[in-house]
Structures are given as C-alpha cells and as structure tokens.
Structure 1
Amino acid sequence: MGNSTSESTGFNFQHFVTQVFKNCEADKTAASKYKRCNLERTEHYAWPLLSSHGVKLTNPVQLSIAKLIASSIAYESGSQNGHLSLGRALKELNQEIQSAETRLLLLIGCDSSLELCKMLPSVIRLLQSKGIRIDYVRLCMDLFFYDKSPSSIRTRWAEDFYSYSSSDKELSK
C-alpha cells in the first residue's frame, strides 16, 4: 500500500489530492464546485472536475471517495496536504475533546468504504475546526482499499490512535 497509484484502476491518489488543492487555490469557482460535490443533489457540478482527475463517475466507491476527499480539501484552510493519519489526527483531537475515541470506534466499526464516506464528513469538519490537518492521500488510499482489507486499515487507525509516542510523554509532564 506504499504506492500512491492503484494498479487495478490506474487511479493516482497523490496526483488527485495535489490537483484538488491546486484547483481550490487557483479557482474559487472550482473550490465551490468541490464543496458542493458531497451533496447528492449538487454533486453533478463537480463531475467535470472529478472526471478530469481520473475519477470514474460510474464507479460508486471511487466516486464517493473522490467526492469526500475533494469536498474536504475545498473546506481545508491550508493549501497543501496534511501529514496526520486519521488515527493520529483523532488522537490529537482527543486531547481537546474526549469524544474522539468514540468517533474512532464508530469509524472502525463501519463495514464498507461507502459507509465510511457517509460518516467521515462530520469527523473531518471537526478536525478542520480544531486546525488538525490530515493526510488526504493516505485517507484516500485507506478508503479505496478498505473493502479489500478492512481489518488491516482498522488496526492501523487504532494503533495510530492508541500508540504511545515521545510527544505523549512531553504532554504528560
């Protein structure tokens, strides 16, 4: 999973995320279309943009993931991808609000990437409101491969959340 391109579809996650960030920064109209793409009744406004990034509009899983990632990036305050995995981002959030662990448990209890795409917008908006920047390339890959290997992705998110690091030691002093 270290490769940022899916061999089965040729979809390049890194390119997709980079292009969405660039489009949002350069074009307010594009950013507006991306923001609207996670709503079923207005998603069609973003179809030309998503399609130009290699998203297969006829693939419901790929389309749902692309809509989630694109709309999340459009609401992002920064102009570059973050660096935190979903589990690590929730761990940082847990230092501010205690319900972060509950959110993680709800997410890892999802049965499919489509279910995750429905639950994640509120979690991502909460992370964004606290200035916690996630790695959208990693999240895109996790969602894309979730249906093939849910156990390994769930375990990694949980490990990222529950792991003890040297920065945790500094926080406890």
Structure 2
Amino acid sequence: MTDSASAVSAPPNSSTVRVSDRFVTYVHHVCESNQARAALRRGLGLPVERCTYMHRYLVPWLRDHDDQHHADVRRAYYAVASLIAARPRSARDTTPDQSGSESWYARPNLGTSLGQAVTKGVLKENSAESALHLMARQSSDAIHPGLPALVRQLLAGGITIDWAVLLEDLAWWNRSRDRIATRWLEHYFRTASGTTETTAPFDSAEENDR
C-alpha cells in the first residue's frame, strides 16, 4: 500500500456494520504501510492537538463520521488508531471481526481482556483489579496516557482486544463512566471466574443512547 490519497480514503458506508467497526477496518488497512503505521503510532497517549502526524490519515475519515460536538469522540478515534498502529509484530496478523453474529454487549470489552489476562497468567489478579478500579474513578483525560502500556502488556501476552468496543467505550466514557466501568468490572469478574453469562441490566439503555 502506498501513501497516496486513495490510501487514506474512507471505506464505503454499510448499514449492517457499526461505524466503529468500519473505522477499525480502515485503520488496519492504513497500517499496511510502514510509514503510515509509524505516523499513527506517534500519537500514543497524546491529546489530539499533539497528534499532528496523524491528521493526514484520520481527518479524511472523521470528516464524515466524527461527532463534531464532543472532543471525547475525536480523541477516542485517535487513541484507538495509535494503539492499533503500535501493536507488537505478533499481534499484527489479527483482523477485525465484523460478522455481526455476536450481540454488541456480548463482545469482549477491556474488562474481558483483563480477565483473560489473569486466567492466562499475563497479569496478576490484584494488578488487573487495581487497574480497573483506578480507571473507574478517572476521567478519560487520565485514562488515555496509561492505556498504551496496559494494551501493550495485554497484546504481548496474546490477549486480543476488540478495538471497536474500546473505541465506543472511550468515546462515551465522560458521559457514561459509571455505566461503562460497571460493565468492564462485570465482564472482568465473569471472565476471571469462568462465568460466561453476559446479561447486564443497563446495557440496553446505553445502547439506545448511542
């Protein structure tokens, strides 16, 4: 892939695939270029205003899909793009699943990934729980700088991350922090304990707000 204008054009719209999933697919495509991947990686943990090298690749996409009223949304897009670009080589072969066979709230969130990390010995139980409880008390501005190290540890340990779910959770964090944090904690404890039920009483309300 080259860094031509066609390389940064947005994918066609699809009524059957969430915008977040389409964005993740787009970033995977862009990251086929070493130059583009390096540019996106330079934004790790940074606010959008300091991500000057990322604009070339994300502005053409976000002009049609971003929520212009919320800076949180734009930062979430930039953060997830940089996290995808910074994946270790062992994790670059994974491709996003957009089959739609699984309901949105059954898909793994960050709590699920941390639970998997505990069961596989990638993280200690107290470390994973401490990270979740700390994030539950923080604003997105405090969470973003710490995500690269946490995500890198998960990916290096062979733990997969559903980037589209992470994107939407980060975008909504400051408006629905308690609800999202509760969902992360519920999925963490279900996964770490081997319980697979994924029903959550407030998920449908949050989904209706999106």
Q: 2:194 aligns with which of 154, 165, 172?
A: 165
Q: Which residue of 1 aligns with 2:131?
A: 103
Hey, what's the Cα distance between the residues in 2 that align with 1:152 and 1:62?
Answer: 17
- Residue 137 of structure 1 and its aligned partner are, at CA, apart by 0.2
Hey, what's the Cα distance between the residues in 1 that align with 2:113 and 2:72?
Answer: 24
Q: Which residue of 2 aligns with 1:22?
A: 29
Hey, what's the Cα distance between the residues in 1 that align with 2:62 and 2:50?
Answer: 20
Q: Which residue of 2 aligns with 1:46?
A: 54
Hey, what's the Cα distance between the residues in 2 that align with 1:119 and 1:89?
Answer: 16
**Deviating 4+ runs (over 4 angstroms):** 39-42
TM-score by length of 1: 0.78
**Pairing 1:42-81 to 2, within 5 Å after superposition:** 43-54=51-62, 60-76=71-87, 77-78=91-92, 79-81=94-96
The sequence identity of aligned pairs, in percent, is 27
TM-score by length of 2: 0.66
Structure 1 unpaired stretches of 5+: 6-11, 168-173
Query: What's the Cα RMSD here?
Result: 2.6
Structure 2 unpaired stretches of 5+: 1-15, 98-106, 197-210
1:102 partner letter: S
Hey, what's the Cα distance between the residues in 2 that align with 1:149 and 1:47?
Answer: 27
Hey, what's the Cα distance between the residues in 2 that align with 1:42 and 1:149?
Answer: 26
Tell me the secondary structure at the aligned position of residue 137 of structure 1: helix
Confirm or deny that 1:116 pairs with 2:143: yes
